[in-house]
Amino acid sequence: MAYCSIAAAREAGCTGTDAEVAAWIEAAKERITAYTQQLFEPTDLVVVADVAAGGLVILPRRVRSVTGVQPATGTEEDGPWIPLSAWRLTSSAILGQIDAVRLAWGGYDDLVVGAESYSGGWQGLWSRWGTEQAKVYGSFGYDEPPLLVGHGNALLAAHLQAEAAPSDADAAQDPSLLVDDEGNNVAIEDTDDEDAEDAVSPAASTGSTQVDALLVSFLNRGPSLIGGV
């Protein structure tokens, strides 16, 4: 799902066929995801996160729902699984809450082998599994893109397209570009023996300071997603 419509991107300055505009919207969406470390649409993911003191597992994205929790050494096919009664979910979708799963360290279940009250309950069972991380299966992200995110996606799509198409004036000023008779940009190979200095992209940026400012309130500075976006 795109964060903005093709019409919105055109209003922001994006040009071309619908397919071309859609491609720039998708490229901008990827930049936004990398910058904010958030998902602005419902997305099914499997995340791995550390289990902190007290059984707190802080999740790296806004969580909508969780379908299963297991030690990081487990597999979806073979388990083992932590029963629903042994963990509690909180989400930043509720004001004052954080995105986390809280394992019931103080609980037990005498019907579950290894989690009996005389065996140390859930904390004792987790210790025997020998892992300090939990694997969480669920749905993450916002229910729908906030207005500022949609506006930022449209602006960034136009910005990226403009960056990728230097004007004739830019080409004349930049010796690394050559415009042929048909208007195509042809790169000239640098023959200098000295190593060229690599361009350094701004850290933690979409590439547009205007879009950065729009999205700054959505930045997620929590743990990174393992094996995800």
Residue 214 confidence (pLDDT): 96
How far is it, in rounded angstroms, from Cα 211 to Cα 160? 11
Q: What is the mean pLDDT of the chain?
A: 82
The pLDDT tens digits of the residues spanning 25-35 come to: 999 999 999 99
The pLDDT tens digits of the residues spanning 193-217 come to: 444 333 333 337 899 999 999 999 9
The pLDDT tens digits of the residues spanning 101-137 come to: 998 877 788 887 888 888 888 888 888 888 889 999 9
What are the strands, taking DSSP E only, across 16-145? Answer: 43-50, 56-58, 63-71, 87-90, 100-103, 133-140
pLDDT band at 44 (very low <50, low <70, confident <90, very high): very high
The region that residue 169 occupies, defined by phi over 0 for left and psi between -120 and 50 for alpha, beta otherwise, is alpha
- Better-predicted residue by pLDDT, 21 or 112: 21
pTM above 0.95, yes or no: no
- Better-predicted residue by pLDDT, 76 or 229: 76
What ranges do the domains of the chain cover? 6-38+144-187+204-218, 43-140
pLDDT band at 174 (very low <50, low <70, confident <90, very high): low
Q: What is the mean pLDDT of residues 75-90?
A: 89
Using DSSP's 3-state secondary structure scheme, residue 55 falls into helix
Over its C-alpha atoms, the chain yields an Rg (Å, rounded) of 24
Residue 224 confidence (pLDDT): 42
Please name the helix (run of DSSP H) or strand (run of DSSP E) that holds residue 134, with its range, or none.
strand 133-140
Least confident piece of the model among 21-25, 73-77, 86-90, 106-110: 106-110
Phi–psi pair at 164, nearest 5 degrees: -80, -5
Kindly give the residue spans of alpha helices, DSSP state H, lying in the chain. 6-11, 18-36, 121-129, 147-164, 168-173, 209-215
Pairing of strands 87-90, 100-103: antiparallel
CA distances, 41 to each of 29, 112, 190 (Å) = 11, 37, 43
How far is it, in rounded angstroms, from Cα 8 to Cα 3? 10
